A and B are shown apart, each in its own frame.
Chain A
Amino acid sequence: MMNLFGDPAVWLPVVFAALMGLSILIYVVLDGFDLGVGILTPLADEAEKDRMVASIGPFWDANETWLVMAVGILLVAFPAAHGAILTALYLPVAIMLIGLILRGTAFEFRAKVALPKKQAWNQAFFVGSVMTSMSQGYMLGFYIMGLEHSIVAHGFALLSGLFLTVGYSFIGACWLILKAEGQLQLKAVKWARGGIWGVILGVGAISLATPLVSPRIWERWFSVPEVFLLAPLPLISAALILGIWAVLRRLPTDSDSFAWLPFAGAGMLFTLAFTGLAYSFYPYVVPDRLTIYEAASAPESLIIILVGVLIVTPIIAGYSALAYYVFRGKARDLRYD
């Protein structure tokens, strides 16, 4: 079976790179919206905060599992790259982890303590969300700069952290447009209108920097015929941004129609940007240093995992869909009973 598609040492790393990419993408969209909601909490009043938290309550845990999945695939399929990348990103990873710890626990604590302490946990929820998104953006920027220490690289990484934070708050606002009603929904539309600028700037900055850092990526982008094959990516992105912008100007509608559109658009935008990045870096898993083929685990271990993936993934997709179906519609108060 292993040789059915040719040399397993060739196709297995590609399959796992694709799986890892997919996990990261799903993570960025899903945890992106719940991190974004966390980033937006200081802009809301107390009752709205409860509603915002309620809108992500049943989902955040499963969303975060995609991060575990992504780092898990990096760990199990590309162990050499896992060590190289994570030791280079030691500090931002630690900051992200502390951020995730803060927000994950604040989420639970704020619902179970007396009011004065609840304010403190609200703060922790916000700070944790910002720490997480800033450090993830920082890691993205630093990765694009080739994981090399220099003032420019760290500067760009910081900028990238800022953009990702704004980007997450944008998709978070789009989520709230879908899940909230009344005053909060109005606010969310306003937030999304502001946030979309961050997305434009962020995607623009990363698109500029990526080919400039690496001659290899420059080559992949601007040689013929690649440049024509790639052209649809920025064009579709631009069209999407215009479309989202036009919709945001008309939301919310009286019948609450099209409330799902900004979130769907934001998800597609993230997907396009991610596709561009994935195309640029393939076949490297550590930029310009280590390819997926060099870093991959032994085929006999990968095949064992792949069998599991093929069986389990449809099941995971099924019950994830079930959860989103059960908690469909506008967010209601979260209650255990």
Chain B
Amino acid sequence: MEMMDTLLLSRIQFAANISFHILFPTITIALGWVLVFFKLRYARTGDSVWMDAYFFWVKVFALSFAMGVVSGITMSFQFGTNWPGFMESVGNIAGPLLAYEIMTAFFMEAVFLGIMLFGFSRVPSWAHTGATVLVAIGTTMSTFWILVLNSWMHTPQGFELRDGVAHATDWFAIIFNPSMPYRLVHVLLASGLTVAFLLAGISALRWVMGEKSAEVRKTLRAGVIMAAALMLVQIYAGDMHGLNTLEYQPAKVAAMEGNWETRGNVPLLLFALPDEAARENRFEIGIPSGASLILTHRADGEVPGLNDFVAEDGSRLHPPVNAVFWSFRVMVGTGMAMLLLSWSALFLMRRGRGIEGLPRIVLWAFLPMAFSGWLATLAGWYTTEIGRQPWLVTGVLSTKAAVGDVAPTLVASTLIAYLMIYAALLTAYIGVLVYLARTRAIGASEPQQGRPPSGAIQTMPAE
């Protein structure tokens, strides 16, 4: 019983840490490249508005990066403090992948971040651009390695078990494991979308606060175009990822679809209350044969059912259904809202109508949607990670076998401490984004800066 409590608390603690952590890399991965874009536009056009945009968003980048670094360090320690079984059994594979992340990504991004943030007046412009590019490459490399490891935990291959310990036999197979390419693309696009909506949302906020500047026009437009374009690619990539999951992790797909029996003509459920005890859904509302069509491209295509994943003694070998079923719907629902808003805005802004083309309701809709990328990303991660349960490494290591022997009271107290500090930091983070937007919008000089950034307030009359 005591181990059970420790297990549950350790899972909640790791989930809390990783959920908090992923919010910030999700921003920095794509924002790094957006900053490169701003810098290159400035180099090409000589228009200082692009540098204004750079200096505003580089602050968001710096803050997000710091949040990502400190919460990331936390996780590297929690492998040992809470999940010693993970490294003991699959350390031979996870180890080198993590080592390559540190060596090829962490140092590079950390070192060049200093030059990128504070070196503009100290190094030539090309070197500053170069530092920005290297930081962006660093964050992307980091994404690559960590998703290789994460994907390997979902679809492990290229190893053999000796005395319960995994030994690598084929590094190519480990790195290019079946779900890696799909997951990597899906996550990179999610980062792009998160940043697109953050760009558009904060720009819309500045606009409604009265900052009708050329900079806000440009960043809002960039956000909308980026969102609309990436959303289409993401729907396709997400579909491909789903098909990959169907092939390698059918139990997860069964939980996502809320499908109990393996059969054809499975409906696409819009709403249902899956009941794991009764092993059926209540209050189902669905599109007939929808799930079969999406997953197999045939109306009578067979979709795996959860009842196939029950051991003879009645214990579950499939993930908890409700959590997976609902996080999947939150992700897709958020995605649909993102699709609708970005394409409506794109249409309304067509042919130089610009921000003025946007009705109030559309402009204001961007404010709450500024963080829609976070919601979709978290929901997506919950779908895939809870969907892997009861395994930590599919078929190799169960989650409960990896947990450390720490007193539950100790885990509970650190969990409370982490939750409190995360809540405070998240509040402060969002508060600072709004504050940065407001100081720009009302033209107050910024704290900590000797002089306001060049051309900070370029108020343009509304045409």
Contacts and interface: CB of A to CB of B under 8 A. Distances in A.
A176 to B, nearest CB: 18
Query: Of residues A57, A90, A91, which shows the largest number of chain B Cβ atoms within 10 Å of its Cβ?
Result: A90
A140 B367 CA distance: 48
A76 B99 contact: yes
The 10 A-B residue pairs whose C-beta atoms are closest, nearest first, are A83-B84, A76-B95, A86-B80, A58-B114, A79-B91, A79-B87, A104-B70, A62-B110, A301-B92, A101-B70
Given A98-B421, A113-B432, A87 B447 contact: no
Given A50-B448, A75-B76, A304-B171, A68 B96 contact: no
Interface in B234-283: none
Interface string A279-300: 0000000000000000001101
A93 B91 contact: no
22 contacts: A50-B448, A57-B117, A57-B118, A61-B114, A62-B114, A64-B110, A65-B102, A75-B98, A76-B87, A76-B95, A79-B91, A83-B404, A85-B80, A90-B414, A94-B81, A100-B73, A108-B67, A112-B59, A112-B432, A300-B92, A308-B99, A326-B122
Given A87-B405, A301-B168, A334-B118, A72 B99 contact: yes
Interface string B419-438: 00100010010001001100
B74 to A, nearest CB: 5
A134 to B, nearest CB: 16
Contacts of B99: 72-73, 76, 305, 308-309
A111 interface: yes
Nearest to B169: A300
Contact of B96 (A76, A104, A336): A76
B418 A108 contact: no
Contacts of A333: 450
Contacts of B80: 71, 74-75, 82-83, 85-87
A259 interface: no
Nearest to B452: A337
Contact of A312 (B79, B104, B450): B104
Contact of A319 (B111, B122, B449): B111
Interface string A92-110: 0110011011101101110
A71 B114 contact: no
A222 interface: no
A65 B99 CA distance: 12
B311 interface: no
Contact of B428 (A107, A109, A297): A109
A218 interface: no
Contacts of B62: 108, 336
B347 interface: no
A190 interface: no
Main secondary structure on A side of the interface with B? helix
Contact of A76 (B85, B98, B111): B98
A114 B447 CA distance: 6
Interface of B: 51, 55, 58-59, 62-63, 65-67, 69-74, 76-77, 79-81, 84-85, 87-88, 91-96, 98-100, 102-104, 106-108, 110-115, 117-123, 165, 167-168, 171, 404-406, 410, 414, 417-418, 421, 425, 428, 432, 435-436, 447-450, 453-454
A105 B425 contact: yes
B70 A105 contact: yes
B110 A77 contact: no
Nearest to A77: B95
A68 B102 contact: yes
Given A72-B102, A312-B107, 11 more contacts: A72-B76, A76-B87, A76-B98, A90-B414, A97-B74, A109-B432, A114-B447, A300-B168, A301-B91, A301-B93, A305-B99
Contact of B167 (A84, A104, A300): A300
A236 interface: no
Nearest to A111: B448
Interface in A120-164: none
Nearest to B444: A114
Given A86-B77, A105-B66, A105-B70, A80 B107 contact: no
B103 A114 contact: no
A118 interface: yes
A87 B81 contact: yes
Contacts of B88: 79-80, 83
Interface of A: 50, 57-59, 61-62, 64-65, 67-69, 71-77, 79-80, 82-87, 89-91, 93-94, 97-98, 100-102, 104-105, 107-109, 111-115, 118, 297-298, 300-301, 304-305, 308-309, 312-313, 316, 319-320, 322-323, 326-327, 333-337
Contacts of B95: 75-77, 79, 297, 301, 305
Contacts of A68: 72-73, 76, 102, 106
B103 A82 contact: no
Given A98-B417, A104-B70, A113 B91 contact: no
A195 to B, nearest CB: 26
B435 A112 contact: yes
B167 A298 contact: yes
A83 to B, nearest CB: 3
B447 A112 contact: yes
Contacts of B421: 98, 101-102
Contacts of A114: 435, 447
A300 B91 CA distance: 12
A57 B114 contact: yes
A83 B91 CA distance: 11
Nearest to B115: A326
A78 to B, nearest CB: 9
Contact of B121 (A62, A115, A313, A337): A337
A193 B168 CA distance: 54
Nearest to A67: B73
Nearest to A118: B447
